[in-house]
């Protein structure tokens, strides 16, 4: 174990039914391949207590909470104060996921944008990183992120990045991070790999988005945090690094962005 490079799954959903009754095994599977930390994401604030309980029960697990854009029209609008109150928990490390998704839910674009700005304000107030979901909304996403940054700086990761080179540039120009998911390792994702190859390696994270988007050789199966190692190996190839070097770089990147998770691990 001591010779296995450590990485962090920066985005997963351990409260989903896919993992019910299996979390001890899931966390152990991750540790066995060097995935020593994971951030589990709450996508509806009414589920925050159960997500928090998972983080409290497992030393390796941290959590974040927000309203997913696809749920923005179905859930009560979050408030900045509500998010700030949740952020007081010592294992709460990020705001979101939030963002814009016009692929399935374009009809709720206006409420999604309102929700996104609320989450940005909470990230700015707490100093915790914003976690962004973006799909088929590149122009509005780049515009809002940039407008809000001018109103006051905040940090951010573009989770499961699979959008355009233009949105990648807009995010990177603001000092934000891009996160690699299993999509990066799909054979037909060369265009996406090229976008990552053009990004500073100091601004790249890895994630699973488990239980979704399992990378090869597990594509089509339930994803889990352990499989972040496959994505990280694909990432190492993108940047022309050996796996230990890329793993160490992504760990440093995660620690720089998710400062509370770094402190929590050392505590």
- Cβ atoms of 41 and 76 within 8 Å: the answer is no
Q: Report whether pLDDT(1) > 50.
A: no
Calpha distance 150→265 (Å, rounded): 33
pLDDT tier at 23, thresholds 50, 70, 90:
very high
Q: Domain residues of the chain, as ranges?
A: 7-266
For tokens 């940054």, the residue is 149
The predicted pLDDT at position 265 comes to 42
Instruction: List pLDDT tens digits, range 95-119.
Output: 999 999 999 999 999 999 999 999 9
**Residue whose pair of structure tokens reads 């120009």 in the numeric block:** 173
pLDDT at 2: 57
Strands 177-180 and 35-42: unpaired
Strands in 92-101's sheet, in edge-to-edge order, are 7-12, 35-42, 61-65, 92-101, 130-135, 156-158, 177-180, 204-206
The model's pTM: 0.96
Mean pLDDT score, 29-44: 98
- Which residues on neighbouring strands pair with residue 62, listed in sequence order? 39
- Ramachandran assignment for 65, one of left (phi > 0), alpha (psi -120 to 50 degrees), beta (any other): beta
**Helix 259-266 and helix 243-257: axis angle, to 10°?**
100
Average pLDDT, the chain: 96
Question: What's residue 266's pLDDT?
Answer: 34
Provide mean pLDDT across the span 198-217.
98
Distance CA 154, CA 134 (A): 17
Q: Write the pLDDT tens digit of every residue in 220-266.
A: 999 999 999 999 999 999 999 999 999 999 999 999 999 999 744 43
With H, G, I as helix, E, B as strand and everything else as coil, classify residue 250.
helix
Higher per-residue confidence, 1 vs 38: 38
The answer to whether 145 touches 170, Cβ cutoff 8 Å, is yes
pLDDT at residue number 3: 85
**pLDDT value at residue 267:** 33
- Between CA 191 and CA 67 the distance in angstroms is 30
What class has domain 7-266?
Answer: alpha beta
User: What's the whole-number mean pLDDT along residues 69-75?
Assistant: 97
As a dihedral over the C-alpha atoms of residue 106, residue 112, residue 114, residue 120, rounded to 10 degrees, the angle is -140
């Amino acid at each position: 174990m001591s010779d296995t490079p450590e990485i962090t799954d920066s985005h997963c959903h351990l409260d989903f039914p896919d993992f019910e009754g299996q979390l001890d095994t899931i966390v152990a599977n991750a540790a066995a391949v060097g995935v020593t930390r994971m951030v589990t994401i709450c996508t509806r604030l009414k589920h925050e207590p159960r997500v928090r309980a998972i983080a409290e029960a497992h030393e390796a697990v941290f959590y974040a909470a927000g309203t997913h854009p696809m749920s923005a029209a179905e859930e009560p609008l979050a408030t900045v104060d509500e998010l700030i109150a949740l952020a007081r928990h010592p294992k709460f490390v990020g705001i979101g996921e939030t963002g814009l998704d016009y692929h399935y839910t374009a009809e709720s674009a206006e409420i999604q944008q309102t929700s996104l700005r609320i989450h940005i304000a909470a990230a700015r107030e707490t100093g915790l990183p914003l976690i962004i979901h973006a799909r088929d909304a590149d122009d509005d996403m780049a515009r809002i992120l940039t407008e809000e940054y001018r109103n006051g700086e905040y940090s951010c990761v573009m989770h499961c990045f699979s959008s355009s080179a233009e949105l990648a540039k807009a995010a990177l120009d603001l000092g934000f991070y891009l996160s690699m998911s299993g999509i990066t390792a799909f054979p037909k994702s060369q265009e996406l790999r090229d976008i990552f190859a053009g990004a500073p390696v100091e601004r790249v994270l890895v994630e699973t988005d488990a239980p979704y988007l399992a990378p090869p050789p597990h594509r089509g199966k339930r994803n889990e945090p352990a499989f972040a190692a496959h994505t990280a190996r694909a990432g190492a190839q993108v940047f022309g690094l050996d796996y230990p070097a890329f793993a160490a770089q992504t760990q440093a990147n995660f620690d720089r962005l998710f400062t509370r998770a770094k402190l929590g691990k050392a505590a």
